[in-house]
Structure 1
Amino acid sequence: MESSIKMLDERTDQATRKMLQKVVERKRKFDNFKRRHLYVMWATVFITFFYLLYINQTVIEPYSYSFAAMFSAYVNNSANLYLIVFTVGLYGLMNLLKAKREKAEKEYHALRCEIIDKSKDLWKKEEEWKNRHLVFDMMKANYDINLFHENK
């Protein structure tokens, strides 16, 4: 469990600390998929750009006089097969990571909204209710998790 969540002894009970820990884990999972998706997306863009530049230099410009000559030059070079498979594979990985990122985001926001909805049950005592903003501020400052509002 995170040390800053462990230090909330008098402000929260054990179940609330577990929920806060889970929302931190889901946030990290979401951020990880978001970062990986961004890296793969840019890699796909750059690889596609350089592949098209390579095709232009090796196939289109030298054999622009005939489509049949361009097609024949493209098919005769086995590197084109590997490059197109690699590019399409990167595109597929990008889409897979996007789906995982969206799923992780949905899970994270669902748990975050659940904590917001159940805040009256989680901080039942009068003193706990008055100090819950300290817990919310700590979550916002340490983990960039907003528990004040349900909106993203």
Structure 2
Amino acid sequence: MESPILMLDGRTDQATKKMLLKVVERKQKYDQLTNRHLLLMWSTIFITFCYFLYLYYFLFVPYSYSFAAVFSVFVGKSWNVFLLMLVIGLYGWMNILREKRDKAEKEFHALRCEIIDKSKDLWKKEDQWQNRHLVFDMMKKNFDINLFHENK
């Protein structure tokens, strides 16, 4: 378990600590997928830009007099087709990562909202209820997870 969650001795029970740990894990998974998606998105944009720049200067400009000449030179070099497939594959992989990121965000947000909704059940005792804001502050400060409101 995360050490700040372990240090919540009398303020929470074991089940609540497990829920807090799960929401931290989901937040980390969401952040990791967000970073991967951004890296892949910018890589795809850069590679696509370089590829189209290459096509423009070495294919379209010298052979612009005829579409048939451009097409025959493009198909004549097999690595042009492979590079085109690479760009298409990177675009598809980027979309798959975006879908995974969106799914991880929904799972994280759902669990966070569940903790907020069940806060009266999770902190039943009066002294626990009075100190729950300390738990919420710790989650916000250490993990950037807002448990005060359901809005993102």
TM-score tier after normalising by the smaller chain length:
over 0.9
Paired with 1:64 and 1:37, the residues of 2 have a C-alpha distance of: 37
Which residue in the other structure is 1:16 paired with? Answer: 16
Which residue in the other structure is 2:135 paired with? Answer: 135
Letter in 2 for 1:129: W
Paired with 1:65 and 1:91, the residues of 2 have a C-alpha distance of: 31
Q: Is 1:29 the equivalent of 2:29? A: yes
| Per-residue Cα deviation, 1:21-76 (whole angstroms, up to 9, x for no partner) | 00000000000101100000000100110000010011100000111111111110
Q: Which SS does the other structure have where 1:29 is aligned? A: helix
% identity of equivalent residues: 68
Give the deviation of 1:85 after TM superposition: 1.0
Paired with 1:141 and 1:76, the residues of 2 have a C-alpha distance of: 59
Paired with 2:89 and 2:40, the residues of 1 have a C-alpha distance of: 11
Which residue in the other structure is 2:151 paired with? Answer: 151
Which residue in the other structure is 1:74 paired with? Answer: 74
Which residue in the other structure is 2:89 paired with? Answer: 89
Which residue in the other structure is 1:54 paired with? Answer: 54
Q: Which SS does the other structure have where 2:51 is aligned? A: helix
Q: Which SS does the other structure have where 2:63 is aligned? A: coil
Letter in 1 for 2:46: F
Letter in 2 for 1:89: G
Which residue in the other structure is 1:126 paired with? Answer: 126
Letter in 1 for 2:143: Y
Paired with 2:104 and 2:128, the residues of 1 have a C-alpha distance of: 30
Which residue in the other structure is 1:65 paired with? Answer: 65
Give the deviation of 1:81 after TM superposition: 1.1
User: How many residues are paired up?
Assistant: 152
CA root-mean-square deviation: 0.5
Give the deviation of 1:9 after TM superposition: 1.0
Q: Which SS does the other structure have where 1:124 is aligned? A: coil
Letter in 1 for 2:6: K
Runs of 4+ in structure 1 off by over 6 angstroms are none
Unaligned runs of 5+ in 1: none
Superposition TM-score, scaled by structure 2 size: 0.99
